[in-house]
Amino acid sequence: MAEVLLFHHAQGLTSGVRAFAETLREAGHTVHVPDLYEGQVFEDIEEGVANARRIGFGSIVERGRAVAEELPTALVYAGFSLGVLPAQSLAQTRAGAKGALLFHSCVPTSEFGDGWPQGVPVQIHGMEADEDFVDEGDLDAARALVESAPDVAELFLYPGKQHLFADNSLPSYEEHAATLLTRRVLEFLDGVE
C-alpha cells in the first residue's frame, strides 16, 4: 500500500478534502493531510486565493516541504489546485518520491528544476472547460509534462467546467467526474511499488 502526502486547495482543509483522504485510507493507504492554513477554511475560492497571496505561494510550498521533512521519503505527493504547488515541488525535488497526483492544476516543470524526474509516475486531472485549468496555463503545462515523460505521465480530462470538482463539500462538486477520478487514483496507488 502507498503512503500519500495530500495537500488541500485554496479554500483550506475542507470536509471534502478530508473525505477524499478517508476514501484512500479505507482502500488501505496511509494518508497524511496537513493543514497549511492553520485552521482557516474559506467559503469561496476568491477568499482562499486572497489568503494564499497574503501568506505567499512560496511560503505555502515551504510549509509543505516542512511537513514532508517529518515523513519518510517514499511518498506519493498529491494536491488539490493550490496544493499542487507543494506536491509537484516535492515530487520533482525530494529524492525517493513514489509518484504524484495533481488535481485541478499543474505548473511547468521548470518551476522546480530541470524537468520531471525519471521513473516517477504522475497523474494530472482537470476539467476540459475549467477556466482556471485551461486559461491559466495549467493544461499547457500538463500536456508538456506528458510529452516530456510519456512513459510515466498521464493526463485525464473530464467533461465540464468546474474547478474543484472532486471536493464533495463544495458546490463545484461533480459526482460522476469525482468518482472516475477516485477510481483512477486508487488504481494508480495500487500500482505504486
In sequence order, what are the residues at sequence separation of 6 or more whose Cβ sits closer than 8 angstroms to the Cβ of residue 48?
9, 10, 11, 12, 42, 82
CA–CA separation, 100 vs 128, rounded Å? 20
pLDDT of 114 reads: 87
Averages of pLDDT over each 10 residues, the chain, 193 residues: 97 98 98 96 93 93 97 97 98 97 98 94 98 97 97 98 97 98 98 88
Question: Domain ranges in the chain?
Answer: 3-190
Short-list 193, 68, 66, 81, CA closest to 130: 81
CATH 3.40.50.1820 assigned to domain 3-190? The reply is: yes
- pTM value surpassing 0.75: yes
Name the β-bridge partners of 103: 80, 125
In terms of C-beta density within 10 A (0-12 exposed, 13-18 middle, 19 or more buried), how is residue 147 classed?
Answer: exposed
Amino acid residing at 11: Q
| Closest to 101 measured CA to CA, from 121, 82, 128 | 121
CA distance 143 to 154: 9
Identify the pLDDT of residue 11.
Answer: 97
> What pLDDT shows up at residue 62?
96
pLDDT at position 193:
78
Whole-angstrom distance, CA of residue 43 vs CA of residue 172: 12
pLDDT at 86: 98
Contact yes or no for 75/96 (Cβ under 8 A): yes
